[in-house]
Amino acid sequence: MASVELRQVRKAYGALPVIHGVSLAIEDGEFVALVGPSGCGKSTLLRMIAGLEEITDGEIIIDNAVVNELTPRERNIAMVFQSYALYPHMTVAENMGFNLRLSGTPKPVIAERVAEAARMLDLMPLLDRKPAQLSGGQRQRVAMGRAIVRNPAVFLFDEPLSNLDAKLRVQMRAEIKQLHQKVGTTSIYVTHDQIEAMTLADRIVVLNQGKVEQEGTPMELYKKPANLFVAAFIGSPAMNLLDGTVDGDGGEPSARLGDGTAIRIAPDRKVKRGQAIKVGLRPEHLSPGVGGTALAGQTLLVEPTGAQTHIIFDLAGHPVVAIVDGEYPARYGARFEANIPAEQVHVFDRETGVAL
């Protein structure tokens, strides 16, 4: 196991910069998720840590040693790829033991370590099969087995579950979490799926256009998004964002929407009267019959999901999503009223997008 540190890491393809000075410290044994939309540079950053991509500037430090010039092998990392990247002409056992074979490990030791990893991942009956004879989930487990066998300092996961169907993804997510709990190896996990990041990671780093927007624990990001980008990215369904203006006295500020609706906001928000803001309302915080500001509008759409129902209602001319109990008698066209406590109302500067 090892710590990983990135110091002002930059990457440019010719004149086009794609990573703009990312600094990050990942502790020994920590599970960190890099999330962001497609093209934000998260996979590039991971490949730079792996040594598969050269860095333009900065330092990558693994286990207290600068590894900029080291090959992937010398960095002692293992990587799990989105497309599994199993060698099609080798059996499961050969795939898992290939890196040990290359390093000249004696055959009995290879067999022992492959068997150990296979037992951990329930792959023992599949050791003699070729990748083409395995299901998607089994292939991904083999890819993880290949990573475990070499006992690396760091695990790197590059969207490993993206090729799996929804059900299998949930199952494999749990297996990855269990695996990390068992082996405790420092892990860096790239995904565009914020649910995956929230459920797996000790800490999440949100990237956008090659920059870190915010890093913190899943709950920190959820409760205190640093800016509009993080607020919109973290949470499912996404946070409702409405244009408004700060109104009311300093002691009891409120956000006034376009149609005059006033939403109370917590007094500790650093807002000024008349300031142009974006008001953020999480769907799960808009509940009928609880305290706080009452917001009402015509129901535009009802989406039952079983335990919960998503209601899309009109608020100041904007569709707003609210999550209510599955038994709630929602009806298209009916008036829907929900309340939101002031402390659950997020406020962002409309120009800079920074949380206030």
Partner 1 sequence: MTEISTAQPIDAASAPTSGQRIRAGTQVYMYVSLIIVAAIVVVPLISTALGGFKTLGELRGNPFGLPTEWQWSNYTDIIISKRYWLQMSNSLIIALLTVFLTLTFGAMAAFCFAHIRFFGANHLVNYFLIGLMFPAATAILPLYIRIRDLGLIDTYWGVVLPQVAFGMGMSIMLFRNYFRNLPSELFDAAFVDGCGYMRFFWHITLPLSRPIIATVGIISFVGSWNSYIVPLIMLNSESRYPWPLGIMIYRGEFSTEWQLVLAFITLTILPTIIAFFLAQKHIIAGLTAGAVKS
**In the bound complex, what is the minimum distance in angstroms from residue 45's beta carbon to partner 1?**
15
Q: Give the one residue of 44, 82, 185, 254 binding partner 1; rule: CB under 8 A.
A: 82
Which residues does 65 contact at the CB level (< 8 Å), separation at least 6? none
Cα 186 to Cα 190: distance, rounded to the nearest angstrom: 14
Cα 139 to Cα 67: distance, rounded to the nearest angstrom: 30
Return the exposure string of 295-309: e unless at least 16 CB atoms fall within 10 Å of the residue's CB, then b: bebebeebeeeeebb
- 85-93, 114-122, 192-200, 275-283 -> range binding partner 1 (CB under 8 A): 85-93
Tell me whether strands 77-80 and 154-158 are parallel, antiparallel or unpaired. Answer: parallel
Select 52 or 170, whichever has its Cβ closest to partner 1: 52
Alpha helices in the chain (DSSP H): 42-50, 92-102, 107-120, 136-149, 166-183, 194-200, 218-223, 228-233
**In the bound complex, what is the minimum distance in angstroms from residue 163's beta carbon to partner 1?**
11
- Phi/psi at 306 (nearest 5 deg)? 110, -100
98-117 binders of partner 1 (CB under 8 A): 98-99, 102-103
Select 113 or 203, whichever has its Cβ closest to partner 1: 113
- 4-12, 60-68, 94-102, 184-192 -> range binding partner 1 (CB under 8 A): 94-102
Q: Name the nearest CA neighbour of 318 among 275, 269, 245, 261.
A: 261
Q: Are 58 and 66 contacting, i.e. CB atoms less than 8 angstroms apart?
A: no
Residue 77 contacts partner 1 per CB under 8 A: yes
Residue 79 contacts partner 1 per CB under 8 A: yes
Cα 133 to Cα 68: distance, rounded to the nearest angstrom: 38
Select 150 or 256, whichever has its Cβ closest to partner 1: 150
**In the bound complex, what is the minimum distance in angstroms from residue 81's beta carbon to partner 1?**
5
**In the bound complex, what is the minimum distance in angstroms from residue 99's beta carbon to partner 1?**
4
Select 23 or 83, whichever has its Cβ closest to partner 1: 83
**In the bound complex, what is the minimum distance in angstroms from residue 103's beta carbon to partner 1?**
6
**In the bound complex, what is the minimum distance in angstroms from residue 143's beta carbon to partner 1?**
8
- Phi/psi at 245 (nearest 5 deg)? -135, 140
Note the residues at the interface with partner 1 (CB under 8 A): 47, 50-52, 71-73, 77-79, 81-83, 85-89, 98-99, 102-103, 146
